Amino acid sequence: VAEEDAEGGAMEELEELDQGMEGEERASTTALTALTSRGIAATDIKKLQEAGFHSVEGVSFATKRQILAVKGISEAKAEKIIAEAAKLVHMGFVSAAEYHIQRQDQLQLTTGAEELDKLLGGGIETGSITELFGEFRTGKTQLCHTLCVTCQLPTASGGAEGKAMYIDTEGTFRPERLVSIAERFQLDPQATLDNVAYARAHNSDHQLQLLSMAAALMADSRYALLVVDSATANYRTDYCGRGELAARQQHLGKFLRCLQRIADEFGVAVVITNQVVAQVDGGAMFAVDPKKPIGGNIIAHASQTRLYLRKGRGENRICKIYDSPSLPEAEASFAIAAEGIRDCED
C-alpha cells in the first residue's frame, strides 16, 4: 500500500509539470479513448492505461503477448483491441517517396554550436535515439542540459516548441545550468525550468518504470526531448561479473526497446549518454584510442546515431560521428561555456 501511495504521489507531481507551457499543443498521437467508438469497453481502456499504454499507436506497436499480460484482458479481447487499433494506425508499406516526405517533416534540435549542428546535418534528430559516449569531462551532460533548453525554442530557431524530460542516474542534473543557458537564448528562466520534467533513477528496474510514467506525460502534453544520463550507469552496478552478463544485456535491451517505442510513438528526440571502458586485451596496444563504449552490441544496434566525444585543448571538445545511417564519418569541435554548448572561439 505504501508503494502504491508513493507511486500515486509521484504521478501527481509529474501531472503538475504538465501545466507549465501556455497554449501548448497536444502530442501528435491518437488518444486511447478513440477505441471506445470501435466497441472497446471503457473498463478495458482503463486497464490498458494502468498497464502503461496511453495511445492507439502504443497498442499497435505492442505484441499480442504484451497485451495479454495486462490484467483482465482475455485472448478474445486482445485480438479485438489489436484489430481495431490497426484500423486507426497505418502499419503497412509506403513508397520511399512518401517516407522521404515524412522524413523532411522531422525536426532537428540545435546543439547551440553551429559547427556541431553542421556535422549532424542540422542538429539532434527527433524520432530516433542518439547516443553520446566518452570519458568524464567530455561534455555529455553539458550537451544534454543545452538540449533541454533548445528544444523549447521556436522551430525557426532550431527548436521544437516542446518540453523536455530528464532521467538522471548519476546525480549530475543541475537546474541552475538551465537558467544560464535559458538567458543566453532569451527565454524566461522560470518557464524554462517549468517545462523540464526531472526524475532520479536509483536502479535499473526503477529506470525502466520511469519510462511508463514518461509515456503517460507525453500522451497528455507536447514533449520534444527525452534524456537518459546515463543509460548504462545503473547496469554496471546492479549486475556484476560474467555470470549476470546475459541478464544485464536482456534487461538493457528491453529498456532500449522501450526508448525506441517512445521515440516512434511520440516523435521525441531520445538522447542517451554512455560510459566507456578501457580495452585491456592484446588488441589495445595497437589501437589509436583504447576506449570503447560499454553495453556491447545491444546498445550499438539500438542507437541510430552514435557520437564519440573526447577532450580537446582547454574547454574545447571534439565530437566524432562514430556510427550513423545517413551521416559520413567526420569530426567537429565545440566548447563548453557558462551559457552551455557553443562554438570554439579559436
Q: Report the pLDDT value the prediction gives residue 282, as an integer from 0 to 100.
A: 56
pLDDT the model gives residue 34: 94
Residues 332 and 120: their CA atoms lie apart, in Å, by 9
Residues 6+ apart with CB under 8 A from 149: 164, 178, 181, 182, 185, 187, 192, 340
Cell of 36: 471506445
Segment-wise mean pLDDT, segments of 10 residues, the chain, 346 residues: 46 44 53 93 95 93 95 96 94 95 94 97 97 95 98 97 97 97 97 98 97 94 96 94 94 97 96 88 60 91 96 94 96 96 90
8 Å CB contact between 167 and 229: yes
In this structure, the dihedral spanned by the alpha carbons of residues 33, 30, 48 and 266, taken in order and rounded to 10 degrees, is -150
pLDDT for residue 3: 43
Rg of the chain in Å (alpha carbons): 21
Whole-number pLDDT of residue 215: 94
